[in-house]
Amino acid sequence: MGKDIQFSLMYRDMWQSSGKYMPRVDQLVRIAPVIIDMGCFARVETNGGGFEQINLLFGENPNKSVRAWTQPFNDVGIKTHMLERALNGIRMSPVPADIRKLMFKVKKKQGTDIARSFDGLNDERNIIDSITYAKAGGMIAQGTLSLTYSKVHTVDYYIELASKLIDHGADEICLKDMAGIGRPVSLGKIVEGIKASYPEVLIQYHGHSGPGFAPVSILEVARAGADIIDVGMEPLSWGTAHVDLLTAHAILKDAGFNVPDINMKAYMEARSLTQEFIDDFLGYYINPKNRMMNSLLIGPGLPGGMMGSLMADLENNLASLNKWMAKRDKPEITQDQLLIKLFEEVEYIWPKLGYPPLVTPYSQYVKNVALMNVIQMYKGKERWSMIADNIWDMILGKSGKLPGKLDDEIVKLAEAQGREFYTGRPQDLYPDNLDVFRKEMAENNWDLGEDEEELMELAMHPEQYRAYKSGAAKKAFEEDLAKRKAEAEGVAQASTAPVVATSAAPAVNYQPKSMNIEINGEKFRVAVSYDENDAPVETKAPAINGTTKEEAPATNGSAKEVLAPVEGKFFRTKNASEKGLNTGDFVKVGDIIGYIESMKVYNAITSEITGKVVEVCHADGDDVEEDEALIKIV
């Protein structure tokens, strides 16, 4: 009889690697017993990563979801595991230590057994903190190696990192091949090297199928001594997700390993339910290209877990870029053209940025810089002209030590902007602040929740939690879903409708909300509103997050505009310590006038004009389009 190999089902990650959302709690509770009936899983990945933000975004309480979803597995002894991002916890930005500690305690109480802790830079200091906090909270601590392929990410590099984590208390090791670009033979050597020094330490392999290496990698790591293999299942296996259970099972069984039998009746039922969830609403957020494998991913090495958001970002930025091109009588570009340009740019800038492993959030950061570079170069501008502050934090060492050396070009750019590099312990930059959120809970008369889970949620995801509590998140999600359904229905009807030659007809009851007008050579953007009798009425922008659009005083027509360089949501500040710009303030060239949240980061917008602000054109949270006025200055 060969070595025993166990399987873990990546049910959460299957969805995140394919699209934007995960099933609702009622759907998860329906499929849990069917997954159990399959009889082949020792573990199920139930939460972590983007799971909780997703719950909040469609107006669902993530704490109730985690408890209800993990309970059936807890009851039958199937271990549950979550993914967490070390310094970044379960969000995209650094988290104070007191909030990180509370998170592990809460997750254990909610029924999560194992914390899979990775650091996007493989900085062992951040992972070791998570190992310490996880064990203090009663969880099994799984130290994680974020795998990639470069001249600095060698077999010895990963064996040494695993040794440091085990020596500091890691109970298990996970090889996280998030882009599926780890070369199979090298992965086998990493496992072999770890097992040679730590034969009793359990090793779990997690690989995405994207570029096609993963089935071979599964066989290589199993032969080298891996104990558990992460898998997906139809209809969300393969593509940018994971190797299907059936394939992994057949490969390992044929190679002589002892693998558990699969209840195929339950497999087909789980498959059917997953398809039902896709058809219900989740399919509206899954890009069909994410269901395909693509060897082009070998070059840029972008991970499966971000491909859903990448395609959405690409779609939005393509539309914005083509609007810009059309205004200037330039030929439009296709999504494929932009995608290839993006992949090429990622390959070009990744070494210059010090080879950060392309895993959340640093895969998004590298992708964002690359996409901004491509867009700016299409417009005839220079590379590196838009780098968000949290991306600068990565470059400067505030998130951890980069694996490779920064290119001199980046170092000089930082020095030219007066930015300072940091070499200390990353966590020290983010002091404890749980009491601030405890006070907010009290002021709002919000319940701290069982085991203070609601407090943890607010502290971990403040903006999303507030939007959830106010009902704004649920409303926005329902509106977006209704729009997508209507668009899909319209496409379906158009594809079956007979072709009839007609003249263009005006939109029924179309009433513009804003107009661009030109007076004596000066361009102005004016708001237009209507009452029930279609007569113009005077309105004031509604308050969003406590701020409103500034009323514009009369000017002599000489005001100049600072325009949005990218589309997204406008904010005057990105945190409570900043003071937002107001009418009457004086700004100089280079001053930050606000931020645009785009592609999960806040992009600082600087003024190219010196003068007095006569109008702030948007309230916090307003959607803005590229080339739209943000402020007016005289």
Between CA 87 and CA 422 the distance in angstroms is 16
Handedness of CA 600, 601, 602, 604 (dihedral sign): negative
Burial of 480 (0-12, 13-18, 19+ CB in 10 A): middle
Pairing between β-strand 522-527 and β-strand 514-519 as defined by DSSP bridges? antiparallel
**CA 128 – CA 117 distance, rounded (Å):** 9
CA–CA gap between residue 19 and residue 305 (Å, rounded): 9
Share of the chain above pLDDT 90, in %: 57
pLDDT of residue 212: 92
Instruction: Report how far residue 550's alpha carbon sits from residue 583's, in angstroms, rounded to the nearest whole number.
Output: 7
Question: For the chain, how many residues are written?
Answer: 634
Tell me: the pLDDT tens digits for 514-559? 444 444 444 444 444 434 333 333 333 334 344 445 444 444 557 8
Rounded Cα distance between 146 and 85, Å, is 11
Q: Is pLDDT above 70 for 48? A: yes
Q: Which residue has the higher pLDDT, 102 or 463?
A: 102
In which band, very low, low, confident or very high, does the pLDDT at 1 lie, cut at 50, 70 and 90? Answer: low
3-class DSSP string for 599-618: CCEEEEEECCCCEEEEEECC
**Distance (Å, rounded) from C-alpha 448 to C-alpha 458?**
10
CB 111 within 8 A of CB 66: yes
- Residue scoring higher pLDDT (587 or 158): 158
Cα separation of 384 and 406, whole Å? 14
Q: Does domain 541-633 have CATH number 2.40.50.100?
A: yes
pLDDT band at 621 (very low <50, low <70, confident <90, very high): confident
Torsion on CA atoms 531, 534, 535, 538, rounded to nearest 10: 40
- What DSSP line would sit under 30-84, residue for residue? HHHHHHHHT--EEEEEEEETTHHHHHHHTT--HHHHHHHHHHHHHHHT-EEEEEE
What region does 139 belong to: left with phi over 0, alpha with psi -120 to 50, or beta?
beta
Task: Report how far residue 602's alpha carbon sits from residue 245's, in angstroms, rounded to the nearest whole number.
Answer: 39
Does the pLDDT of residue 411 top 60, yes or no? yes
At 388 the pLDDT is 84
pLDDT bucket at 16, cuts 50 / 70 / 90: confident
DSSP 123-172: -HHHHHHHHHHHHHTT-EEEEEEE---SSSS-HHHHHHHHHHHHHTT-SE
Which residue has better confidence, 606 or 483?
A: 483
Taking residues 574-586, report their average pLDDT: 77
Residues 218 and 183: their CA atoms lie apart, in Å, by: 11
Cβ burial 119-129 (10 Å sphere, 16+ → b, else e): bbbbbbbbbbb
Handedness of CA 348, 354, 359, 363 (dihedral sign): negative
Q: How high is the pLDDT of residue 49? A: 83
Number of CB atoms found within 10 A of residue 449's CB: 17
Report how far residue 303's alpha carbon sits from residue 290's, in angstroms, rounded to the nearest whole number. Answer: 11
Map out the domains of the chain as residue ranges: 299-429, 541-633
Lowest mean pLDDT among 3-7, 340-344, 516-520: 516-520
Q: Provide mean pLDDT across the span 85-104.
A: 95
The encoded tokens of residue 357 equal: 């492993």
